[in-house]
Chains A and B, each alone.
Chain A
Amino acid sequence: MFIRMIRGALVRQRGKMFLIAFTIALGASLATAMLNVMLDVGDKVNQELKTYGANITVKPNSSTLLSSLYDVEDEGEQIETAYLNEEDVSKLKTIFWAYNIVDFAPFMKMAVTLEDGNEAEAVGTWFNHHLDLTTGESLDAGVVSLRSWWEVTDGSWIDEQNDPVNTIMVGRMLAVRQGWNAGQTVTLTGPRGSEEVTIAGIYDAGGDEDEQIYAPLDLVQKLNGLDGKVESIEVSAITTPDNDLAKRAAQNPAALSAADYETWYCTAYVSAICYQIQEAIPDAVASAVRQVAESEGSILDKTQLLMILITILSLIGAALGISNLVTASVMERAQEFGLMKAIGAKDYSITGLVMIEILITALVGGVAGYFMGFGFAQLIGHSVFGSAIEMKVMVIPIVVVLIALVTAAGSLPAIRMILRLRPAEVLHGSKT
């Protein structure tokens, strides 16, 4: 009979029950989406922040400058700048915090003369340079991901694996001025001769780079006569926000106590990573690009805080909605419950009936909500982070508990109403 009553209540009041289930589904879906995004967001935000560009730059030590000046005199050549070796770049992935270094690219700039006699700045770099490391790991490093916010408005990114070395990318402004399009062949002239190059793509960087030419490092080295040399390296690393220790260490690591040094060295502070880069690459100075490096950690914290707040607010909203709907439904059914009490139903059997109704409704809503939340999470993943969100199993019990709490909280006023309901009052609505 109980089952018949529940079934009757659910099936014949499905409109109302559907609303309650829908409210629960909304709450559940938001909670599911937010929790999944939140648990997955650490990686996502780091990837996202990576697109703000490098947070460490590596340059040749000035002392190297002196020695290379001597070299210059020996060779009788006129070189103004010191260089790092291209072959040292991959050593970045050998440091203690190698895993935190998510991307990097070497750079070499030079002035080139165009066909019409105008000058432009050419930047030699890696695009998607394939590296097989001594550790057995292999990766593609370069500006394709380091400058991922660039928009290629015509053509496409250079693919180092497939495109010939005589391929370049041109900044939007320069391309407009020169009347260049993707696919066109142009001639670049440097101190060591001229090269016919094909334009793979036109990019919009939204900055000074729009006036530049980006070319494979090899091409610029050839035009410059500087084989195997790079001017600087930009590194994007995941870092831990600085604290006192990190600040002291940044001034002079040698002044730290042994224990402090150990802690510092084994924490992904930007200064520790810089220090380790300097250890790995001879005659290099690594320095943090301050603002970005520091904000990464706190942006992550703030994003997660925001999501927790949204989740809590949405659950409170759901609880209020449920509370309204359930209370309204119980109020409408006051006579029914009064009648049940009058014909001998105990309080607990009526509250039990209502709670099981709500429970079943919540279950339906919760399951629907979980799958809606799955969809939301993917939507958020794709629209905000451009990738799928991994669904964590541990979210399911959390959502179940949250929904149970929210539903219970939402049903509380209704249950209290039922307990206080006096059959004599609702049944003799005889004052009609």
Chain B
Amino acid sequence: MSLLELKDISKIYGELKALDNVSIHVDKGEWVAIMGPSGSGKSTMMNIIGCMDKPSKGQVFLDGVDISKESSRKLTEIRRDKIGLIFQQFHMVNYLTAVENIMVSQYYHSLPDEEEALEALGRVGLRDRAKHLPSQLSGGEQQRVCVARALINHPELILADEPTGNLDEANENIVLDLFRQLHREGTTLIVVTHDPEVAEAAQRTIVLEHGRVAREIINENFQE
């Protein structure tokens, strides 16, 4: 059953076609990697899927609902309820502690629950860092807090744009393990990456070139 379907999506900036007639579909519970050279439109596509941008042409179905024509207010609600976002940069509110950063996400979603937030921190192995400010955490630790924040509201879909781009090997593996766990729990994952190793962890890789889908690769070696 498909969770996400892009139909003939184009995103045009003046002369430039950042996305050119892209059609993809992602099933519920699937783990998809997106690769492609710089400027091929990966982030543009993630923004559209993540309800942070609208396509110039085409339709986006999320859970069977066309979101391409929704108001930005409605998009904010959809994003809040269904999507967890992870970015290459570890965006944290720098005057809030690790646990508070997670609670912000709960706060905007429903109700902050410190216990639950601490549990999420525990999942990424940072329970003892709950009271630390971002400036007191390493980059890898910050990204792990961001992962915990993305999964705190149990989103159906996690969108990660180069989540390991700024991480060392050890932290990359921690994050990948977390993705494997999420995948086992049935969460749908779309991960943009330049790193073949990260792509190989996924079930399927979609390669973009010049705003078009160049090819799709099924990962034969995928292990549940």
* Interface residues of A, Cβ cutoff 8 Å to B: 1-2, 4-5, 8-9, 11-13, 335-336, 338-346, 349, 422-424, 427-430, 432
16 contacts between A and B (CB under 8 A): A1-B104, A1-B106, A1-B112, A2-B107, A4-B100, A8-B96, A8-B100, A9-B95, A12-B96, A338-B91, A340-B104, A344-B77, A344-B105, A346-B76, A427-B85, A430-B162
Q: Give the residues from 83 to 103 in chain B that come closer than 8 angstroms, CB to CB, to chain A.
A: 85, 87-89, 91-97, 100, 103
Chain B residues, Cβ within 8 Å of A5: 93, 96, 100, 104, 107
Q: A8-B95, A12-B95, A346-B73 are in contact. Are A430 and B89 (CB under 8 A)?
A: yes
Contact B79 A342 (CB under 8 A): yes
Q: Is B212 located at the chain interface by the 8 A CB criterion?
A: no
Chain B residues, Cβ within 8 Å of A2: 107
Contact A342 B85 (CB under 8 A): yes
Contact B89 A429 (CB under 8 A): yes
Q: How far is the CA of A335 from the CA of B146 in the complex (A)?
A: 14
Chain A residues, Cβ within 8 Å of B76: 341, 344-346
Q: How far is the CA of A391 from the CA of B100 in the complex (A)?
A: 45
Contact B89 A343 (CB under 8 A): no
Q: A1-B112, A336-B94, A340-B108 are in contact. Are A430 and B47 (CB under 8 A)?
A: no
Contact A1 B107 (CB under 8 A): yes
Q: Mark B116-140, 1 if CB is under 8 A from A, else 0.
A: 0000000000000000010000000
Q: Is B23 located at the chain interface by the 8 A CB criterion?
A: no
Chain B residues, Cβ within 8 Å of A343: 79-80, 85, 104-105, 108-109, 149
Chain A residues, Cβ within 8 Å of B171: none
CB-CB nearest in chain B for A336: B93
Q: Is B200 located at the chain interface by the 8 A CB criterion?
A: no
Total residues of chain B contacting the partner, CB 8 A: 36
Q: Is B12 located at the chain interface by the 8 A CB criterion?
A: no
Q: A4-B100, A343-B149, A346-B76 are in contact. Are A428 and B95 (CB under 8 A)?
A: no
Q: Is B53 located at the chain interface by the 8 A CB criterion?
A: yes
Chain B residues, Cβ within 8 Å of A339: 91-93
Chain B residues, Cβ within 8 Å of A429: 89
CB-CB nearest in chain B for A428: B43
Chain A residues, Cβ within 8 Å of B81: 344
Q: How far is the CB of A430 from chain B (nearest CB, A)?
A: 5
CB-CB nearest in chain B for A12: B95
Q: Is B30 located at the chain interface by the 8 A CB criterion?
A: no
Q: Give the residues from 141 to 184 in chain B that come closer than 8 angstroms, CB to CB, to chain A.
A: 149, 161-162, 165
Q: How far is the CA of A341 from the CA of B85 in the complex (A)?
A: 11
Chain B residues, Cβ within 8 Å of A345: 76, 108
Q: Is B218 located at the chain interface by the 8 A CB criterion?
A: no
Contact B100 A428 (CB under 8 A): no
Q: Is B52 located at the chain interface by the 8 A CB criterion?
A: yes
Q: How far is the CB of A13 from chain B (nearest CB, A)?
A: 6
Determine which residue in A338, A344, A429, A430 has the highest number of CB atoms from chain B within 10 A of its CB, and name it: A344
- Known contacts A2-B107, A5-B100, A343-B149; 11 additional CB pairs below 8 A are A1-B103, A5-B104, A335-B89, A336-B94, A338-B91, A344-B77, A344-B80, A346-B73, A424-B47, A428-B161, A430-B43
Chain A residues, Cβ within 8 Å of B165: 430
CB-CB nearest in chain B for A9: B95
Q: How far is the CA of A349 from the CA of B109 in the complex (A)?
A: 12
